[in-house]
Structure 1
Amino acid sequence: MKNAVIFGLLLLIFNTNLLAQTWEYKTITVVESIIPNGIGRSRMISSEEARDFREFTTQRTEEDNERNKADRGEIRLKNFEETKLLNFFNMGGIRFQNIAANDAVVTSKINALAADGWELVFVNSGVESYSGPEDENGIYITRYIFKRSGTASN
């Protein structure tokens, strides 16, 4: 009987911890230049500040169509981590060594985050590709979404 009571209490404590569990999320963005001749800039960006989206969001309705009045300067942040990466292209075309080097740097960041308790849960990528001499644009963006367990704050 005593073991059943102890087991029941442990089960209750365990379930209470699960119910109170919250998640913290982090986004890492990798921007890789695909502009020929190596003239672009490639970086891995990680925010070191938090922003509350509610401060920059407006609920718009038919009756109340007023936009959010937040200044863009309030949204910008100055504390972020910027890691230099190599461009995909150089004068000779695609530089596979640069791609491999970027992979190694990004993997290092992912491993460091994993060691800090972050779990990679989602990856999203998009491209605005270079379409010839008239087009000066060309970036490949990958967003890595991580989460880690937190505790409910009271």
Structure 2
Amino acid sequence: MKKYLLSFLLTISFAGLVKAQDKTDSNKQFLQITTIESVISGGAGRSKMIITNPDASQEEVDLENLFSMMGINFKNIKSNELKITQTLKNYTDKGWKLEQATPLSVSPGQGSNGIFMTRYLLSKTGQK
């Protein structure tokens, strides 16, 4: 009998915890910023920052390619860093919190083609 009572109480407690968590998280919004930086030689690649808003609308911001005809272009890297940090600061100033940053690189096959991609997941609790 004690086993059943304990099981019943644990089930009710867990259900209450889930319900309370649902109430606090129901107003949580997510926003994702994805940066795609091309490492294709000669500057032939395309680099972008894509911002996906909570309403699923998106905006694109051009970024510079990491390589030019002469090789790695540090001026372009500095320009991209500035755009990315200014964008993140803009959103954190508006109450968004950086939840997670996921860096990755993709290089299909052999050679020097590929991209660096980073996803920044931001969240904010408030009205939808």
TM-score range, shorter chain: 0.7 to 0.9
- Look up the match of 1:21: 24
Structure 1 unmatched ranges of 5 or more: 1-17, 52-78
Q: 1:80 to 1:140 in 2, by over 3 A?
A: same
* TM, length-normalised to structure 2: 0.72
Match of 1:30 among 29, 35, 50: 35
Offset at residue 100 of structure 1 (A): 1.1
**1:128 and 2:106 correspond:** yes
User: How many angstroms apart in 2 are the aligned matches of 1:148 and 1:35?
Assistant: 36
Q: 1:119 to 1:48 in 2, by over 3 A?
A: closer
User: How many angstroms apart in 1 are the aligned matches of 2:102 and 2:52?
Assistant: 17
Point out the structure with the larger helix share: 2
Structure 2 unmatched ranges of 5 or more: 1-19
**1:148 and 2:119 correspond:** no
User: How many angstroms apart in 1 are the aligned matches of 2:39 and 2:61?
Assistant: 17
Q: What count of residue pairs does the alignment treat as equivalent? A: 105
CA contact (8 A) 2:32 2:53 kept: no
The Cα offsets for residues 20-39 of structure 1, whole Å up to 9 and x where unpaired, read as 42221111100000000000
CA contact (8 A) 1:127 1:141 kept: yes
Which of structure 1's runs of 4+ aligned residues deviate more than 4 A?
Answer: none
Choose between structure 1 and 2 for higher RCO, CA contacts under 8 A separated by at least 6 residues.
1
CA contact (8 A) 1:49 1:80 kept: no
CA RMSD of aligned residues (A): 2.2
* TM, length-normalised to structure 1: 0.61
